[in-house]
Structure 1
Amino acid sequence: MMEKIRFDELIQSEIPVLIDFYAEWCGPCMTFLPILQELKQEFGDQIKIIKIDVDKHLELVQKMQIMGVPTLMIYQKGQLIWGAPGVPTKIFLQEKLRPLLPTTA
């Protein structure tokens, strides 16, 4: 995924982009997966969720100064809206994402 699309292009999206820096060996990363699936189901095409395996994208991990996994970030229009290591609750992420959703006229 990241080989074909540059990170800088991904984060320019008009809709919110939730990025999950994870590792396959990371237990908390795997327990967080159902929350990501529920968010995608709830918000559908109003958000993008991108999972980045830190072991396969070392250059990006260094550039982004990712110090631990999981680390989550929310970008919109190229701007970092929020980011933190750890496993936030679904409710916390819903509250971060809702104000960023496109409004319907």
Structure 2
Amino acid sequence: MIPLKGVVLDAPDPQQLARFYCELLGWKLDDDDATWATAVGPNDTKLSFQLEPNYRTPSWPSETEKQQMQLHLDFKVDDLEAAHEHATSLGARLQDFQPQADVRVYADPVGHIFCLFV
């Protein structure tokens, strides 16, 4: 078995995006330098961010001729309304296209898509 230890997202400013996710999830910031930052959660779960100077925001939903989304993150919450208020207060943007009633789709401050669901 090969265990997954973390996920890495490209970002034009790794520290800024790591701070967003730390605030969103209640995680702590680690490995913070100019090109790499890591958010560390329960059980040593890691979400890392690496510098990509040529980062292009993905489109949602997918559009021809635009950067395609390569993955998205799903976060289970107890209270969707409270989580929505928290996420948007930090700079998350609720997306126009919402394919399911019990899931909310957002873009983080640099455009990575993530979902909150109950």
Structures share fold, TM-score greater than 0.5: no
> RCO higher in 1 or 2 (8 Å CA, sep ≥ 6)?
1
Structure with max Cα Rg? 2
Q: Which has the higher helix share?
A: 1
Tell me the TM-score normalised to structure 2 length.
0.29
TM-score of the superposed pair, with normalisation by structure 1: 0.32
